[in-house]
Amino acid sequence: MDNLTHSLVGLASAKAGLERLSPSATAVCLIAANIPDSDIVVLLFGDRWTFLHHHRGITHSIIGTLALALLLPIVFYFVELIVARFRARPPAIKLKGLLLASVIVSATHPLLDWMNNYGIRLLLPWSSQWIYGDFVFIVDPYLWMAFGGAAFLLTSKSWIQLSVWSILVAVLSYLVLFGPAERGGLSDPTFVRGFWIGGMILLFSLYRLRVRQRWGSKIALAAIFVAIFYLGGLAYAHRVALDESRGLAILVANQNGEAITDIAAMPTLASPFNWQTVFETDQAVYRFSLRLRSQPDLSNLVRFDRPQPEVQPLLAESLNTRPAQIFMNFARFPVARIGSNCIVQLADLRYTEPGLARGSFGLEVPVDCSRVSR
């Protein structure tokens, strides 16, 4: 998930009661919610391929997340000891409380990241296998609303806090109301825009009614339960989408005399009813869009054949490069195409197509065409 979602989960968790475990618990919760993404430091020592190789790696694994979750409060505790000694007072931090808060919130990070189609490698260093939940899009405005709304109601106590929240709301509102829809990222922008505007009006009304003074931490607990219910609904929708996708994939494969080797139904931005299906056969990789409980429509089906034997030397040459090896380690549904000027175009069909490079999700490698037999 995006780091805003992780941060809002950490803040809502603190306000739900974890902040009472110790002074500085709120700060620990905010950092712990994001600490597995500390793997971003590899960008200081390498390029984007180094980052792709390490991202969602050991720091997102069980052992890595636990180690970071324990280290963070210990650092806070020793800093507090130094400050307390300098000021000649007893330390205020309760280490056990910080440890508990940090472990709980840190665990939410790999859990949320597992839910989307990017995946994580949970069992590193023993296994480098990627696992995918495939039911939550990597950015979700409904989760922003749930966790952010609770955090806003519980932390808007001063004009500075209100100013920070106002800026954040303005940025997010622009993205929801004008951003993704303009790029075709929302399948049903009218509903999402209406939901967002209605949510903003509701939150403002609740703030004016001073619900924080009445309900306190129950607001954050309610947000957590709403989010769990929503995520459960997405998990069920994914199961339905996968069943429907498999039926259509079998139909396509049978028509072409192929056998399915892998299939995934993946979420789309802010739309529980629209899914993207990618499936692999012994001869090709396919992608199509699916709307739940509607008339099957394969008009948007795209197919990428596996490279023919005559171009295999070019593909093998491209895969000998470091970026290509890292890319293939990451790619779940890799496809390849020989472009003009002897360039091998690689792509992960989850995100893009050959020749339409999107950051690290696509790659172009120049090769020597003289190696192809004529």
Q: pLDDT tens, 262-286?
A: 999 999 999 999 999 999 999 999 9
* Same structural domain, 286 and 361: no
Q: How does residue 311 score in pLDDT terms, banded at 50, 70 and 90?
A: confident
The verdict on residue 275 lying in a domain is yes
The verdict on residue 5 lying in a domain is yes
Structure tokens at 114: 């597992």
> 98: which residues sit within 8 A by CB, 6+ positions away?
21, 22, 24, 25, 28, 73, 76, 77
Type and span of the H or E element at 245? helix 218-255
Q: How does residue 125 score in pLDDT terms, banded at 50, 70 and 90?
A: very high
Helix/strand/coil for 62: helix
Structure tokens at 152: 């806003």
* Same structural domain, 46 and 74: yes
Nearest of 234, 50, 63 to residue 142 by alpha carbon: 234
- The Cα-based distances of 153 to 101, 203, 253 in angstroms read 21, 8, 52
* Same structural domain, 96 and 33: yes
Q: What burial class does residue 309 get, using C-beta atoms within 10 Å of its C-beta: 0-12 exposed, 13-18 middle, 19+ buried?
A: exposed
74, 90, 114: which is the final residue of a domain? 114
* Same structural domain, 20 and 97: yes
* Same structural domain, 97 and 6: yes
* Same structural domain, 16 and 95: yes
- Provide the domain limits for residue 348: 307-371
The verdict on residue 268 lying in a domain is yes
For the chain, what is the radius of gyration of the CA atoms? 24
The verdict on residue 256 lying in a domain is yes
* Same structural domain, 265 and 340: no
256, 288, 304: which is the final residue of a domain? 304
Q: What is the pLDDT of residue 374?
A: 46
> 282: which residues sit within 8 A by CB, 6+ positions away?
258, 259, 261
Count how many Cα atoms sit within 13 Å of the Cα of residue 124 in the half-sphere of its side chain: 20
Question: Which pTM value belongs to this model?
Answer: 0.93
User: Rounded to whole angstroms, how far apart are CA atoms 206 and 217?
Assistant: 14
Tell me what the pLDDT averaged over the chain comes to: 92
* Same structural domain, 323 and 245: no
Average pLDDT estimate for 71-91: 93
CA dihedral of 51, 54, 60, 62, whole degrees rounded to 10? -170
The verdict on residue 293 lying in a domain is yes
Q: What is the pLDDT of residue 373?
A: 52
* Same structural domain, 320 and 283: no
* Same structural domain, 266 and 338: no
The verdict on residue 107 lying in a domain is yes
The verdict on residue 61 lying in a domain is yes
Counted domains in the chain: 3
60, 95, 114: which is the final residue of a domain? 114
Helix/strand/coil for 160: helix
**The residue type at 216:** G
- The Cα-based distances of 13 to 17, 76, 329 in angstroms read 7, 19, 35
* Same structural domain, 337 and 266: no
Determine contact, residues 68/35, Cβ cutoff 8 Å: yes
The verdict on residue 141 lying in a domain is no
pLDDT digits 0-9 by tens, 176-192: 988 765 555 676 788 89
* Same structural domain, 292 and 318: no
pLDDT at residue 50 is higher than 80:
yes
Determine contact, residues 270/137, Cβ cutoff 8 Å: yes
**The residue type at 219:** I
